[in-house]
Structure 1
Amino acid sequence: MQEIGLIVYPDFQVLGLSMCAAFELANAIAGREVYRVSLLSDGGGLVRTSAGFAVDTQPLLTRSFDTLIVMGDNHATSISAQLVAYLGRCAPASRRFGSICTGAFALAEAGLLDGRRATTHWCHARDFQRSYPRIKVEEDRIFINDGKIWTSAGMSACVDLALALVEQDLGSDVARQVSRQLVVYHRRAGGQSQFSVMLELQPRTDRIQAALAYAKENLKAELSVNDLAEVAHLSPRQFSRVFQAETGQSPAKAIENLRVESARLMMESGGHLIDSVAMITGFGDRERMRRAFIRAYGQPPQVIQRASRA
């Protein structure tokens, strides 16, 4: 059985606790107690969450844990000296340890991330890099695994991290079953961007949302304004006007961004030739995709693919 210690402190982000469900479901699917989760804090007892209610915790213990994870908060608050000392003393003895969101600041303060790759919530990443220049911060990642250290972005990324840990321990099939039980997509790859074109567009009406959802599922198709307008039950002229008003982009630009994002994810996941990616994502040929990548990222797809492989 694997002991997992989740380290919390006052006003920690309550969404981090959702990763416990992944371990709970993994136990049920495996038919045995693979994981036992403990909540830890400086002095033990009740610890207030960001939502205002409190959770019961055990005091930081000298006993070893297979996995230690430091929770994050909304404001990157100061980490207690006791917690920093505990991490420096006990984390290296664990098979793996890591952080969610701003919990990476605690690992960094303990010197555990020096010379390592790490990530955190995108809105704190720049401050994180300035405060700890010896860390290679990759701000646009869902999670990063560097040796025995796992760091993740904020909020819902804790579920992706938990699924990755389950997959490492019990295999991809169990992790897939857990994700189905959680009613989430099978875990996002660690290299996936924290940002999403769909989130950036944020259309207000169901009609434009339906058109975008259709486009995302049919990137290989032509996806003309007439096609999307038909899905939205609007005339092409009315559709273009409403789409621009709601998203701040033309339909053509939004479709290009969706294709670029999908192509990038395919290349980062590995195993895809650039010509194949261009066809699958609707660019049609690699030159058209190259021009779109340069507009979006300032780099051709080959550079991003090589960086991902490295």
Structure 2
Amino acid sequence: MACAVFGIPQPDLADRWYDLRLCAETPAPAAPAGPTAPSSGAGGPAAPAFGFSLRAEYGWDALADADTVVVTSVPDACVSGEREVPPALVAELRRAAAAGARMVSLCTGAFALAAAGILDGRRATAHWSHTADLAKRYPGVTVDDSVLYVDDGDVLTSAGVAAGLDLCLHIVRRDLGARVANRLARRMVVPAHRPGGQAQFVDLSVPVADDDSLAPVLQWATANLERPLTVEDLARQARMSPRTFFRRLQAATGTTPLQWLLHQRLALAQYLLEATELPVERIGGLSGLGSAANLRRHFTARVGVSPTDYRRAFAARGSTAGP
């Protein structure tokens, strides 16, 4: 996920993109020009376990110069406790964090951050099948097994597979804004933005058949966010009782209708702040958040900055800069 999001330049989205560097305990020499066969010898990439291999040209010491460090996973033995996370990696992670790097883990990468003490006193997550081990081995970490990812400012953690992609896109959204993240997500054919608080897994005991899919009503809601929508309005549009609609939406998304609506309103507000010069008061109305004061309150609580500061950070630079 990290390579797909950060490793491929997107010149039509931003003039500058991320400079992704793969790091390993023993770096491999630069690949020769032209196609080569995978190598499992000393200094080369490891033998592929599932039909591919990665060539890491940098050692762990390169982490000290990183703005963002992403730990994608650790071996299963480090999860179970049969082996410790390599001390050399732990030392470099601590060094990078002390230097001010943003620390990110995907799935079992949280065990490496925890071993380095970076998650102590923080809320964090991992794939739900590993969170019990994470909490048991590192009691100083507040483990939340119910969310896709946790953004704790300079430390971010995610569950596995798709949730890791969600977190990577969330980072792009933080760094480059909603427009860039949404266009990248569309290019990758994935949802533009799933909030981190959405459940890792949802209750599928109540099937949603094609003839009563929620997709039409959710599309209708996103096209009418300026209206004061209620659960009753959505249920009526879906031709369901409010109780049935509430249960169906929560089963499908892991969140309540009002929280889903708030997320959609804030996403629209972010887009309008970036793409238009409309006053905050007008954006509050168009997004359905009402007054400018209400927009500021919800926006600051969810995004971490005020609408004015957000606009200043992203609308001013447009697509001319990237980390």
Identity %: 33
Alignment CA distance shift 1:99-1:27 (3 Å)? same
Q: Is the partner of 1:28 in helix, strand or coil?
A: coil
Alignment CA distance shift 1:73-1:196 (3 Å)? farther
Q: Which moved more, 1:73-82 or 1:168-177?
A: 73-82
- Of 193, 212, 226, 1:187 maps to 193
Q: Is the partner of 1:97 in helix, strand or coil?
A: strand
- Of 198, 202, 209, 1:196 maps to 202
Q: Is the 8 A contact 2:70 2:105 kept in 1?
A: yes
Check if 1:37 corresponds to 2:20.
Answer: yes
Q: Is the partner of 2:151 in helix, strand or coil?
A: strand
Q: CA deviation at 1:74?
A: 7.5
Residue in 2 that maps onto 1:222? 239
Alignment CA distance shift 1:144-1:183 (3 Å)? same
Check if 1:51 corresponds to 2:66.
Answer: no
Unaligned segments of structure 2, at least 5 residues: 29-44, 218-233, 265-300, 303-323
Q: CA deviation at 1:211?
A: 3.5
Structure 1 length-normalised TM: 0.63
Q: CA deviation at 1:51?
A: 2.1
- Of 264, 267, 270, 2:259 maps to 267
Counterparts of residues 10-159 of structure 1 (less than 5 Å): 18-24=1-7, 27-45=10-28, 46-48=45-47, 51-57=50-56, 58-62=58-62, 63-72=64-73, 75=76, 76=79, 78=83, 79-159=85-165
Q: CA deviation at 1:89?
A: 1.7
Q: Is the 8 A contact 1:50 1:73 kept in 2?
A: no
Q: Is the 8 A contact 1:216 1:258 kept in 2?
A: no
Residue in 2 that maps onto 1:175? 181
Q: Is the 8 A contact 1:26 1:175 kept in 2?
A: no
- Provide the rounded CA distance (Å) in 1 between the counterparts of 2:186 and 2:10: 15
Q: CA deviation at 1:202?
A: 9.4
Amino acid at match of 1:27: Q
Q: For each residue in 1:250-286, what CA deviation from the matched residue of structure 2 results, as whole angstroms up to 9, or x when unmatched?
A: xx998663233455264277479xxxxxxxxxxxxxx
Q: For each residue in 1:28-74, what CA deviation from the matched residue of structure 2 results, as whole angstroms up to 9, or x when unmatched?
A: 23342321111111112314565253211121124410100101258
Amino acid at match of 2:250: V
Unaligned segments of structure 1, at least 5 residues: 1-17, 225-251, 273-307
Alignment CA distance shift 1:254-1:28 (3 Å)? farther
Check if 1:164 corresponds to 2:170.
Answer: yes
Q: Is the partner of 2:21 in helix, strand or coil?
A: strand
Q: For each residue in 1:178-208, what CA deviation from the matched residue of structure 2 results, as whole angstroms up to 9, or x when unmatched?
A: 11101111121011111134xx3597xxxx7
Q: For each residue in 1:104-124, what CA deviation from the matched residue of structure 2 results, as whole angstroms up to 9, or x when unmatched?
A: 001001111100010000111
Structure 2 length-normalised TM: 0.61
Amino acid at match of 1:83: L
Structural RMSD (CA): 3.3
Q: Is the 8 A contact 1:152 1:161 kept in 2?
A: yes
Q: Is the 8 A contact 1:68 1:94 kept in 2?
A: no
Alignment CA distance shift 1:24-1:81 (3 Å)? closer
- Provide the rounded CA distance (Å) in 1 between the counterparts of 2:260 and 2:239: 24
- Provide the rounded CA distance (Å) in 1 between the counterparts of 2:92 and 2:188: 33
Alignment CA distance shift 1:211-1:172 (3 Å)? same
Amino acid at match of 1:60: W
- Provide the rounded CA distance (Å) in 2 between the counterparts of 1:166 and 1:180: 13
Alignment CA distance shift 1:128-1:253 (3 Å)? farther
| Structure with the larger helix share | 1
- Provide the rounded CA distance (Å) in 1 between the counterparts of 2:75 and 2:214: 34
Q: Which moved more, 1:137-146 or 1:82-91?
A: 82-91
| Structure with the larger strand share | 1
Amino acid at match of 1:264: T
- Provide the rounded CA distance (Å) in 2 between the counterparts of 1:30 and 1:113: 33
